[in-house]
Structure 1
Amino acid sequence: MSRFTIRKQKPKTFLLSLFAVIFIFIVIGFFISLKWGQATISWRILYEAITYQGQDKEHLYIQTLRMPRTITAFVIGVHMALAGLLTQLVTRNPIASPHIFGINAGASLSVVISLIVFPSFTLTASVYFAFIGAILGALLVFSLAGIQQKQHVRLALAGIAVHFLLSSLTEGLIIMNQHSTDSMMFWLVGAVNQAGWQEVQTLLPWSITGITIFLFMLPSFRLLLIDDDVALSLGQRIMFVKLIGMLIVILLAGSAVATCGPIGFVGLLIPHVARLLAGEKLGTLVPLTGLLGGLLLVYADFFSRFIAYPYESPVGILTAVIGGPFFIYLARKKGRASL
């Protein structure tokens, strides 16, 4: 049986209404993100900017700063939410996420090393380094704890230990190389305020690739909802499916971290919210998880602008405030269940 709680599938009318409401909130989130911030823009200027009917300073401010920032926030949210969902499916661990399992921290360490050793590297090149770091971080966690179905707390503790180890190394490198990494402490918390069209262009190919493979493998990923022994008895290559799943996680999470830093807890929180709303059917759960992840990060980025107004705050601060207590709740709940 699945290690997740099986919930009755919601009626189609409810799901259609749910997706419609989420879509409306996403549209609202895009508009308020474009309109409000350090500079307030009138609705007329906003309309002219998004329809490219003006080239004044305010129009360019929207077109070159806020539009790519908002799009990047949404895409990063989709990446992290889907990576979190797939991590939980592959490990059958409801408290799993790329952030907790050392994937984000490994990618961050690798990106920082690449920028120190090769300061002229482009964003595209740093993405490949992020993939290498994400793979090494995940391998380190799994080598310490394994991926057995009943090792929820052990796997989480190993992931937290590796996360803090790699994060400490990253921070140490930044402190010792302040001349080349003076702007990375802000990035290290997870931020999208510096995102431009270059970041959007870098992310989109990885988004299309990762999500396409995810959808193509969706029938196979349904095997992850049952025990390995049952899947093997049906003649299914369950380990191959898990390997492809983790590669997709590394693809989505690695590209997100390389672009905007290790924004935490999105991949932990959103899949649980999506399951609560829509149940376990992957055909509904996957798109809902992606949309909710994008929705969360668009609004988190918007509200993070006012935490220390008029100065910018990393969006990772807000996601950590939301996700940290949720992780503690899940860890305590699963710890009591394993006793």
Structure 2
Amino acid sequence: MPEQWRVRNVSQTLDAFDALPVEPMERKRELRVLVESAAVRHWTWQMRFALHFGLTPMILIATFPASLVWFFGSERARYGIFACAATLVLASIWETALFRTLGARVFFLLPAGLGAYFWVMMVRASSNSGHKSVIALVGMVILVFVSIPVLFYLSRKYARSARVRCHPHDFLLISAVLAAGVVGRGRDKWRSTLFVRNAHGALEALAVRAHLSLALKGRVDVLDFGLRRELRLEAQRVAASIRSLKSTISTASGPESVDRVLESLINGIEAIAKIDRQALLDGAPPLPSGVSRLRAAAARILPGAVLVGAAFLVPLIPAIAANGHVASTVRWTLLVTGVTWIVSASSEATGRVGDVLGKVLPFK
């Protein structure tokens, strides 16, 4: 099964590349060899642990003892299993928090909210509630002392193999080819809003991948702050250059506009395939100053922070505190809305606080 997935994903990448209008043919053949090599390396080694864990009986190493705890453990143990599962899902999709799209951020917030809820419920649950047995204890011992160490060892083993054989640009090259494929297939659909949204999603995914891959964190010592910062800023510049293509797609006046974006992506594919970092940085816009970024971050976070602060202060108003149910509803509504507003970069905090107050205050 993992081999089938590997072959399918490599073929999908090559099909997307073959459809690109790369000229002359010698250039296309040269790039195709590099793209194929990167795709094979990525899906053979970089994704080896994920494919084996998800598509082979290896998953039973974790799910079997967890199911014993779930079926035979206490209420606290069941909430703990759910909380750990939600946290693991959140850790596996943390990159979606970097996407500047509402759908991706909502997708990130869902397991985050569920994880927080389950952790709170686990703490509040009674350890004596529910049926407990020796089977649940055995499952917990296996999970903690066998499953987790074994999976950690295997993940590190596969990661070492990937570091030896793969390059950080491999996944970036695959992402660039797939993004170019999305844009190229929609060349004659430039009027379609659906195409524009799909192209935006593909370009955003590529920008996030550039932000992560070009930072080269795995190649720099954690204490070399200067070099890490330099590489991170360069990666952010390339990501900003990719995001700037969204404007051309949105304001396209004909297939020629899409062609310009496609040509830029093809040049980027060549630079990534040949590991030409300078070519990627040529033409990339300079980043805003530190003060400008700080102001932008404050403008995004402040409205949500107001809502979070209101979540703890508004329930203390006597008219609300007199009703415990209403106070709890107000607190959670403001807290969840505040966190959502921070993530979605909205600025309607004052209106939201007023709406909540209008629903619960008797004199409104």
- Would the TM-score normalized by the shorter structure come out above 0.5? no
Over alpha carbons, which structure has the higher Rg? 2
* TM-score of the two chains, using structure 2 as the length reference: 0.24
Higher relative contact order by CA 8 Å / sep ≥ 6: 1 or 2? 1
